[in-house]
Structures are given as C-alpha cells and as structure tokens.
C-alpha cells in the first residue's frame, strides 16, 4: 500500500510555470516540511544573499523564457519568502525588468509587512494555513501564534488558501473551510496532501488521513463536485471551490530553481534536485 499511495504520475502536462525555491531558515518548524527531506543539502544556503549573487539564476530565467514560461512563484523549501530581505526588489526585477508574472507562497507569519509587495504581484498569493486552533498549530508548526488572517486576507488583492491536511488538523477542517469562505478575496481553497521523498513511512499516517478526508467529502458532497483541475478533484462548498491536491498524482508541471544554484526541468522538488546534483 505504501508504494502504491506514493506512486508518481510522470505523464504530466507541458510545464506552465516555474518555482524559485528559497533556501535558508524559517520562522516556524512544520514537522512535515519538504525541506526536511534533504536537511543537509538545503541548510547551507542563506536567505540574506542578494539575488544578483545567486548562481545560475540568469541562466534559469533565460531557460524559462526560451520555454515560454511566464509565471514564476516564489516559495520556500526550508524558509519563507517573507524572510527574504530583498523580496520587493526581486519581484520588481522579475516583473518589470524580465516581464514575468510573479506569485508568492507564504505561511503568512510575515505577511503584514509585505502586503504592498503581495499586491504588486501579477499572480496570486498562496497562504498556507495550518490551523485556526492555537494548540493544534503548536503541534504542527512548533508555535502557538497564528497569523492574523482576518486582517491579512481582505487586504490581499488576489489569493488562495492551502491547507495541508494532517494527523492534527483534520478534526477542524470543516470549521477552517467555513471560516475561510467568508473572505471574498480568497479565490479558492486547496487541500494538499503531504509530500515526501525520504520519509514515506513517517508521513504515511498523514497521507492516509488525507485519503480518508477525500472519501468523506466524496460520500457527503459528491453531488457538489465540479470539473477536475489538473487531475485534482474539485468540490463547490460554502461558496468556494475546494480542490484535493495530491502533488504526485496531478497533471501540473513546472521547472524549479533552488537558491543554491541548482535548477531542473523536473516538477518533483526532491527527486529533481537529487538528479540534478548526481545523487540519484
């Protein structure tokens, strides 16, 4: 069962976007963080290096342009974009000088200080929302504090919410969906399955819970299903589209750059990185 549930879909669509995977340190400590799959590889890079000094970054951007990529998403593998001290400068460079459309993926803990940057972006802002309960949030992220979503989301022009379903927060999922659905600025909600390459047995309980939640949705809200999006099942609930996103199973495809200078034309973050450095 473990092997089947983690089997990857390699028959993917043509790449339509690229990720810039920031490496450094983080303001929370999620136990399932994908960056923990390769902690020794990723920890050497620092988040305070100016992007003009990133190795191979210019080559990667040209590679994206040559392949018709217009959308770039700033995300973090073991850090958060809000911790990057040159964030607005980077977004400006990519959008104004290089003519890309930029979006940002963030845990929201530094969002209030970057709302101007977010609203300057020409692509969506993705907020990763772990919990609305202080104690559950502590179990997931290592901190009790919650971002002020009631302040942040309405002040963001264009955003989505991502909830990584796990062993702790599944019990509050319906309450989270109801709460988030009140925000007009939130375009849709993505329920994500935990991704891992090196900790599959450790994360199996979370993956199984995700599938149980999906089966419950299908049984109770099957009549509210919409057309799939890139292979992900979509439900219409509380006035929002809610998708079940299994990274290994969807049809989405992208290129990836890592701020230590590695870049790859593979969608899978860890697998592609290891192949690029000759360790797989």
As a whole number, mean pLDDT of residues 21-37 equals 96
Evaluate if residue 7 carries a pLDDT over 70.
yes
Give the pLDDT confidence of 242-263 residue by residue, as tens digits.
999 999 999 999 999 999 999 9
Evaluate if residue 44 carries a pLDDT over 90.
no
Evaluate if residue 227 carries a pLDDT over 80.
yes
Q: What is the 3-state secondary structure (H, E, C) of the chain?
A: CHHHHCCCCCCCCCCCEEEEEECCCCCCCCCCCHHHHCHHHHCCCCCCCCHHHCCCHHHHHHHHHHCCCCEEEEEECCCCHHHCCCHHHHHHHHHHHCCCEEEEEECCCCHHHHHHHHHHCCCCEEEECCCCCHHHHHHHHCCCCCCCHHHHHHHCCCEEEEEECCCCCHHHHHHHHHHHCCCCCEEEEEEECCCCCCCHHHHHHHHHHHHHHHHHHHHHHHHHEEEEECCEEEEEECCEEEEEECCCCCCCCEEEEECCCCEECCCCHHHHHHHHCCCC
List the 71-76 sheet strands across, edge first. Answer: 225-229, 232-237, 240-245, 186-192, 159-164, 125-128, 101-106, 71-76, 17-22, 254-258, 263-264
As a whole number, mean pLDDT of residues 130-138 equals 99
Residue 4: the pLDDT is 82
Q: Are 139 and 173 in contact (CB under 8 A)?
A: no
Residue 259: the pLDDT is 97
Residue 40: the pLDDT is 86
- The confidence band for 214, taking pLDDT boundaries of 50, 70 and 90, is very high
Evaluate if residue 222 carries a pLDDT over 90.
no
Distance CA 14, CA 250 (A): 12
As a whole number, mean pLDDT of residues 208-221 equals 97
Residue 2: the pLDDT is 57
Residue 3: the pLDDT is 58
pTM reported for the whole predicted model: 0.95
In percent, the amount of the chain with pLDDT more than 90 equals: 90
In percent, the amount of the chain with pLDDT more than 70 equals: 99
Q: Please state which of the ranges 37-46, 83-92, 215-224 shows the lowest mean pLDDT.
A: 37-46
Please name each of the domains of the chain with its CATH number: 2-276 (3.20.20.70)
Distance CA 11, CA 186 (A): 31
Residue 274: the pLDDT is 93
Residue 48: the pLDDT is 87
As a whole number, mean pLDDT of residues 112-125 equals 98
As a whole number, mean pLDDT of residues 135-144 equals 99
């Amino acid at each position: 069962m473990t092997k089947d549930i983690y089997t990857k879909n390699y028959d993917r669509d043509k790449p339509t976007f690229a990720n810039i995977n920031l490496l450094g340190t983080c303001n929370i400590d999620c136990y399932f963080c994908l960056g923990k799959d390769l902690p020794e590889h990723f920890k050497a890079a620092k988040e305070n290096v100016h992007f003009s000094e990133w190795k191979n970054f210019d080559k990667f951007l040209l590679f994206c342009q040559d392949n018709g990529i217009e959308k770039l998403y700033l995300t973090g593998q073991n850090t958060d974009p809000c911790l990057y001290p040159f964030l607005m400068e980077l977004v400006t460079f990519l959008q104004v000088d290089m003519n890309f459309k930029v979006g940002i993926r963030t845990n929201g803990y530094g969002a209030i200080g970057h709302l101007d940057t977010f609203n300057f972006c020409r692509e969506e802002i993705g907020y990763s929302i772990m919990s609305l309960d202080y104690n559950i949030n502590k179990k997931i992220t290592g901190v009790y504090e919650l971002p002020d979503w009631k302040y942040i989301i309405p002040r963001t022009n264009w955003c989505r919410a991502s909830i990584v379903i796990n062993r702790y927060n599944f019990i509050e999922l319906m309450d989270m969906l109801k709460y988030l659905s009140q925000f007009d600025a939130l375009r849709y909600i993505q329920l994500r399955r935990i991704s891992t390459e090196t900790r599959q047995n450790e994360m199996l309980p979370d993956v199984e819970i995700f599938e149980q939640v999906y089966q419950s949705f299908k049984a109770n809200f099957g009549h509210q299903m919409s057309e799939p999006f890139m292979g992900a099942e979509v439900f219409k609930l509380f006035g929002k589209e809610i998708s079940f996103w299994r990274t290994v199973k969807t049809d989405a495809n992208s290129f990836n750059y890592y701020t230590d200078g590695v870049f790859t034309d593979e969608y899978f973050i860890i697998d592609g990185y290891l192949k690029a450095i000759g360790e797989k």
